Amino acid sequence: MPLDARPDEDDAALLARYARGDAGAARALTVRLAPRAHAQAFRMLGDRSEAEDVVQDAMLRLWRIAPEWRFGEAQVSTWLYRVVSNLCTDRLRKRRRSGVALDDVAEPEDPAPGAEARLQDHARHAALRAAIAALPERQRLALTLRHFDGASNPEIAEQLGISVEAVESLTARAKRALAAALKGRVAALGYEG
């Protein structure tokens, strides 16, 4: 992916340029935002093709909302993170409703030692992803920002517009919910607890 062509302009400024008809701003925003959105979607879905579809859908929503974007309010990156998270959640919930076995979901190619270990990895990751998708939105955002993006609690608080204490509460509740959702499956999924 090419380097950011306009590193001195923030996301909002680029989006404003796009809203005024600057096609080059779209390229700069895509180069800047798409890789992170793709990584986020891939971690949530575990499927490269689906992750790319989610990124395309999320970016399409960004282009559509650009003329009505309220500059000075939400950060573009935070807005996109939220959209990607919700789109991934929708897909994970549809998988469950349509009866797609969690273990059938494609996994990335990795040098797993054996077929059995790979299957167990698939089951473990799919179960965890489904449990994350079942979380309320704010808990899910706080948890994934913390664990998948490595954001600190103050950084999460700033992005979500809440206090650090609220972030701590959200992540703690999210982990309790995950523990409850995975109750009884720990040993089966290969965790020693």
Partner 1 sequence: MTVAPEKPDPDGIDQMLDELAALPVPDPSGDLVARVLVDAEAHLPAPGGRVVAAPWWQQIVRGIGGWGAVSGLVAATATGFVIGVGAVGDTGVDSFWTLGYDAAYDDTNLGLDAFGWALEEG
Residues near partner 1 (CB under 8 A): 1, 16, 18-23, 26-27, 30-31, 34-35, 38-39, 42-43, 46, 48, 51-52, 55-56, 59-60, 63-64, 66-73, 108, 110, 124-125, 128-129, 143, 147-148, 150, 175, 178-180, 182-184, 186-187, 191-193
What distance in Å separates the CA atoms of residue 78 and residue 176, rounded to the nearest whole number?
25
Task: State which residue, 70 or 99, has the beta carbon closest to partner 1.
Answer: 70
Q: Are 148 and 40 in contact (CB under 8 A)?
A: yes
What distance in Å separates the CA atoms of residue 193 and residue 179, rounded to the nearest whole number?
10
Minimum CB distance to partner 1, residue 39 (Å) = 5
Minimum CB distance to partner 1, residue 8 (Å) = 19
Task: State which residue, 82 or 178, has the beta carbon closest to partner 1.
Answer: 178
Which stretches of 3-149 are DSSP H helices? 11-19, 23-45, 48-65, 76-97, 115-133, 137-147
Task: State which residue, 99 or 148, has the beta carbon closest to partner 1.
Answer: 148
Task: State which residue, 134 or 182, has the beta carbon closest to partner 1.
Answer: 182
Q: Which two tokens stand for residue 58?
A: 């999320």
Element housing 21 (H / E) = none
Minimum CB distance to partner 1, residue 169 (Å) = 14
Task: State which residue, 99 or 192, has the beta carbon closest to partner 1.
Answer: 192
Task: State which residue, 99 or 162, has the beta carbon closest to partner 1.
Answer: 162
Minimum CB distance to partner 1, residue 97 (Å) = 22
Q: Are 120 and 190 in contact (CB under 8 A)?
A: yes
Minimum CB distance to partner 1, residue 25 (Å) = 9
For residue 119, the one-letter residue type is L
**Residue from 156, 190, 185, 186 nearest 172 by CA:** 156
What distance in Å separates the CA atoms of residue 82 and residue 59, rounded to the nearest whole number?
12
Write the CA distances from 191 to 106, 124, 187, integer angstroms: 21, 9, 5
